[in-house]
Amino acid sequence: MCEREFQNLPDTISIDGPAASGKSTIGNLIANTLGYICLDTGIMYRAVTSQALKEGLDISDEESISQLAERIDIDILPSSSDDGRQFDVIICGADHSWEIRSNDVNQNVSEVSVYPRVRSAMTELQRSIAKKGKIVMIGRDIGTVVLPQADLKIYLEASAEVRAQRRYIEDLARGKKICFDDVLNSIKHRDELDSGRALAPLKPADDAVIVDSDRMTVYEVVEHVLDLIARR
């Protein structure tokens, strides 16, 4: 990383974007550089989805899923393993850090996140955490809904094909046997659900800085965002 002087640091930074656009990786690197907390809010929706599947709930049963979201215990802790995870995801006292990344969760999380009571429960928790300041918050509606007054808003873009390739490589590295076309179709399906939902659809905030990462490395994106912060 290049050395910079940060004189006017934003208290809250939102990073939004579609699935597999690099939000978590980039957000964590920026947070580490600034000494901030990084919260990937998508983890919360994944946790609800994973627990719903574990309990055998019908994902299309909005009432049951909403009740689950309002009672579930979710904790995000520093990574306890060197298996590639960025943090531990504890659901009801058990480690589900990789379970929340399963194909079943990928296929169902967007439907779960549409439910108003689920979003309300997660949004209130996210806002409460953000009040502490010095935070990078990652999601799909952070700059538009959760933290509309965020000091700096970033929206990451990348084509579905590029995002699918990134996810495919990650899955192969973890030993998963998966077809690229299945990953691509899953990404496109999630894009349709996320962008088309009536409540908090995926879109950049009017005052967000849009970063297209199709031809950028993770390092280049991080450097670009840090430059934005340094020039504030």
pLDDT averaged per 10 residues, the chain (length 232): 80 96 93 91 94 97 98 84 82 92 90 92 90 92 96 97 94 89 93 86 96 94 95 86
Task: Report pTM.
Answer: 0.80
Q: Residue 26 — φ and ψ, nearest 5°?
A: -70, -45
193 CB neighbour count, 10 Å cutoff: 17
Residue 185, CA distances (Å) to 17, 69, 167 in order? 18, 27, 12
Give, for 38, the enclosing helix (H) or strand (E).
strand 37-40
- At residue 1, the pLDDT reads 63
How far apart CA 62 and CA 49 sit, in angstroms, is 12
**Angle between helix 103-114 and 180-196 (nearest 10):** 10
Q: For the chain, which domains are there?
A: 12-219 (3.40.50.300)
End-to-end Cα separation, the chain, in angstroms: 18
What is the tens place of the pLDDT at every residue in 21-49? 999 899 999 999 999 989 889 899 999 99
Match 């947070």 to its residue by tokens.
Answer: 31
Q: Are the C-beta atoms of residues 143 and 20 closer than 8 Å to each other?
A: no
From the list 180, 179, 62, the residue with the least C-alpha distance to 113 is: 62
Residue 175's contacts (CB-CB under 8 Å, 6 or more residues apart) are: none
Give all strands (DSSP E) within 109-228, no chain letters.
135-139, 152-157, 209-212
In sequence order, what are the residues at sequence separation of 6 or more whose Cβ sits closer than 8 angstroms to the Cβ of residue 167? 19, 20, 183, 187
